[in-house]
Amino acid sequence: MVLCQGGEAAAVPAASGKEPEVPLSREDGAGTGQHCLCPARGMEAAGAEERRVCGCCSGLSWPRCCKAPGTKKKAACPGLGLFYTVLSAFLFSVASLFLKKIEDVHSVEVSAFRCVFQMAFVLPGLIYYKTGFLGPKGKRVFLFFRGFLGSSAMILLYYAFQVMPLADATVITFSSPVFTSLLAWIFLKEKYSIWDLLFTLFAITGVVLIARPPFLFGSNVTGIEGSYTDHLKGTIAAITSTVSAASTFVILRKVGKSVHYFLSIWYYAVIGLIGCVIALFVMNEWRLPYCGKDRVLLILIGLLGLGGQIFLTKALQIEKAGPVAIMKTMDVVFAFILQILFLNHLPTWWTVGGALCVVASSSGTAIRKWRQSLKKANQNEI
């Protein structure tokens, strides 16, 4: 479909993937032979201009569209999506730092507070968009597992942050794109090439360098935080969290755009809150923080996590997924910086080597997927 923009023809795909059945009024003056949706002056019936919609102006009626005199199109700010990504990474990293600073609150209880914040944010959106609270009947099973696996990933990640170095847990979570490709190949029959296998091996190597199991590195493991048992538990929790997060990505890809993303977040928050409350009563860990500092940190963790999610969503709305995924590796950089400055814990060379392996594998996966999407888009245009 060719729309009229500033007197020049520009190819713009229809939002629904199909050409809308709109009567075309005139041909573009550029001699392309294509038609323009903006009506010619004097050729529309009286009052028809108010009913016509210009496709190049986000649905505004024609007298207020880009062809109207004095109307200026808002220029896009270059790099804004990448800036949002960096800001999101910073907010997530600060929230992780505050989680390390909490002394008397279990990670499951922190997750429960995070779910409450998400519910409070999503509920007005569900009411506004009239999506309902259960979703389509054929998608409820997928939504349930998306909520269960997503909330489980959050709880396990928070536990890993509390019992192992901040940078180590953050690096392990960055192997998620590699596991996503593997699970998509298994369950969605997507292509899995030799490059994907290589990136998977790189990610596994990075995780091994961070975990440093005694049967490979000996019994004298240095540079860990606390006991090696806690370090190993945190590593297992981080890996399980990563696989759970990758599974949620596969489920969301399976569901596609048939379910509003607010509904997906709603399932995530509700199922997560229910699971956290049950787990806290079983473990007898439910209690309010004793000091005011922990209460403030809990609120800040909820707000920072919510802000990071908002900015990441906005980045994906205005920027391609490939550059966003690559720029999100700033999470690792911020985690190392905050760990050194505020936790006085210098990373070992094993951790640095593992971080390089994991970041290289996740970045390689993101770049490859990005190039494939661009190649597919070019073929569709041809």
Max CA distance (Å), the chain:
86
What is the DSSP secondary-structure string of 239-303? HHHHHHHHHHHHHHHHHGGGS-HHHHHHHHHHHHHHHHHHHHHHHT-----SSHHHHHHHHHHHH
For residue 239, what are the contacts with CB-CB under 8 A and spacing of at least 6? Answer: 172, 207
For the stretch 56-80, what's the b/e string if a residue is b when 16 or more beta carbons lie within 10 angstroms of its beta carbon? bbeeeebeebbbeeeeeeeeeeeee
Within the chain, how many helices (H) and strands (E) appear?
A: 14, 4
Q: How far apart are CA 343 and CA 336, in angstroms?
A: 10
Bridge pairing between strands 2-5 and 8-11: antiparallel
What type of residue sits at position 33? Answer: G
The two structure tokens encoding residue 267: 């399932």
For residue 204, the tally of other CB atoms under 10 A from its CB is: 16
For residue 151, the tally of other CB atoms under 10 A from its CB is: 27
Looking at residue 196, what is its pLDDT? 82
Looking at residue 87, what is its pLDDT? 92
Read off φ and ψ for residue 54, nearest 5 degrees.
Answer: -90, 125
For residue 312, what are the contacts with CB-CB under 8 A and spacing of at least 6? Answer: 84, 85, 88, 324, 328
Looking at residue 299, what is its pLDDT? 86
- Are the CB atoms for 177 and 365 separated by under 8 Å? yes
For residue 140, what are the contacts with CB-CB under 8 A and spacing of at least 6? Answer: 134
Where do the structural domains in the chain lie, given as residue ranges?
80-381
Task: Give the predicted TM-score (pTM) of the model.
Answer: 0.68
What are the pLDDT digits (tens) for 158-195?
A: 889 888 888 888 888 888 878 888 888 888 787 888 88
Looking at residue 67, what is its pLDDT? 46
Averages of pLDDT over runs of 10 residues in the chain (382 residues) are 39 39 40 44 45 45 48 60 88 90 82 86 85 82 88 89 86 83 83 84 85 65 70 89 87 75 84 90 76 82 83 76 75 88 83 86 79 75 67
Looking at residue 218, what is its pLDDT? 58
The two structure tokens encoding residue 16: 């629904």
Nearest to 27 by CA among 11, 41, 38, 42: 38
Q: How far apart are CA 173 and CA 331, in angstroms?
A: 10
